[in-house]
Amino acid sequence: MKKDARIFVAGHTGMVGSAIARLLKKEGYTNLLLKRSGELDLRNQQAVQQFFSENKPDYVFLAAAKVGGILANNTYRAEFLYDNLLIASNIIHAAYEQGVTKLLFLGSSCIYPKLAPQPLKEEYLLTGELEPTNEPYAIAKIAGIKLCEAYRDQYGCNFISAMPTNLYGPNDNYNLQNSHVLPALIKKCYLAKKNNASHVEIWGNGEALREFLYVDDLAQACLHLMLNYNDREFINVGSGTDISIKELALLVKKVIGFDGELIFDTTKPNGTPRKLMDVSRLKNAGWVFSTPLEEGIRLAFNDALASGKLDS
C-alpha cells in the first residue's frame, strides 16, 4: 500500500475509524478520504456510488456502523439491522464496481452463537442461535462477511473481514443510555466519585465474562491485515484473554479511585455468558496485542476526562 494511495476510512469519526485514521496519518499515508455522515450518508446507495466514482479509492477500511450496548441493540432493533445492512452492502458493492484494490470489513464478536464453545473459533459462525438482545446487529455483520466472501468468489475481489472483540479507548461513547459496558463503568465510577455517592449500580450479576481490546491496538491489527492478509476466511481480532464484569468493575474502581460499593442488579440481563475470541489465526498472521487492560483503562479514562465526555 503506497503512502499516496487513496484510502477511504468509512466511519472515521467513530472510535474504530478515528483510530485507523490516526494510525494511517502517523505512518505517513497522505491521501485519506474522510467524509462525515452529514457529508456522505452511507445508507444512500446513489450517494455512495457517486462518492466512489468521483474519488476512486484504492483501499477501503469499512469501520462505519450503527453501534451500541445491550440496551441500544435491544431497543433499536430495526435501525441496527437496516442501517448496518445498507452501509455494508452499499460500500462493498461500490468497491467492486470501482475496482478497489482491497477492502477490509470490520464486524463484531457478537456474530457468534450465544452458547458457542469457548474460546470462539472462526468456524463456529452459524452453528447455533444468536444472543437475542443483539441479533439484528449480528445478522447485519454476518451479512457483511458473506458479502465479502461472495464478491471474492464471484468477482475475484480482495475483500477481507476482521471481527474485533469488545473495544474501548479514545473517542468512545460514554452516553449511559447506549454505551458499552466498559465506558459505562468508567463514567459511573467517575460520577460516583465526583458526587461522593455511596455505590455504583451495574446491570446483571457480574459473572459474565468479556474480552477487551484497546482500540489503537485494533487499528494496528487492521493495518497489519491490510498489508499482509489476503485469505477468504474472516479473522478474529482480540487479546485472547477475558475478565468477569465484576473484576472489570473493580479494576475501573481502582483506576478512577472510587471507594464506594458495587451493587449488581440481577433483574437486568447479563447478555452472552462468555465471549472470548480464539486469536490463533491472527497470531499465525503475525500480530498480537500490546496494551494491558489496566493501562488501557487509564488511557481511556484520561482521554475521556480531557475531552469532557464524562461530565456531559
SS3 8: strand
Question: What's the rounded Cα separation, in Å, for the pair 59 and 89?
Answer: 16
Beta strands 159-164 and 199-203 are: unpaired
Question: What's the rounded Cα separation, in Å, for the pair 277 and 291?
Answer: 17
Residue 177 near residue 72, CB atoms below 8 Å: yes
Cell numbers at residue 65, please? 456502523
Cell numbers at residue 61, please? 477500511
Q: Which amino acid is at 198?
A: S
76 is catalytic: no
Catalytic entry in 59, 112, 137, 168 = 137
Angle between helices 215-228 and 15-26 (to 10 degrees): 60
- The dihedral over CA atoms of 90, 96, 101, 103, expressed in degrees to the nearest 10, equals 40
Helix/strand/coil percentages in the chain, nearest 5: 45, 15, 40
Cell numbers at residue 195, please? 458526587
Strands (E), the chain: 7-10, 32-33, 59-62, 102-106, 159-164, 166-168, 199-203, 209-210, 212-214, 235-237, 243-244, 261-265, 274-275
SS3 308: coil
Look up residue 129 and give its DSSP letter.
P
Question: What's the rounded Cα separation, in Å, for the pair 83 and 81?
Answer: 6
Q: Which residues are catalytic?
A: 137
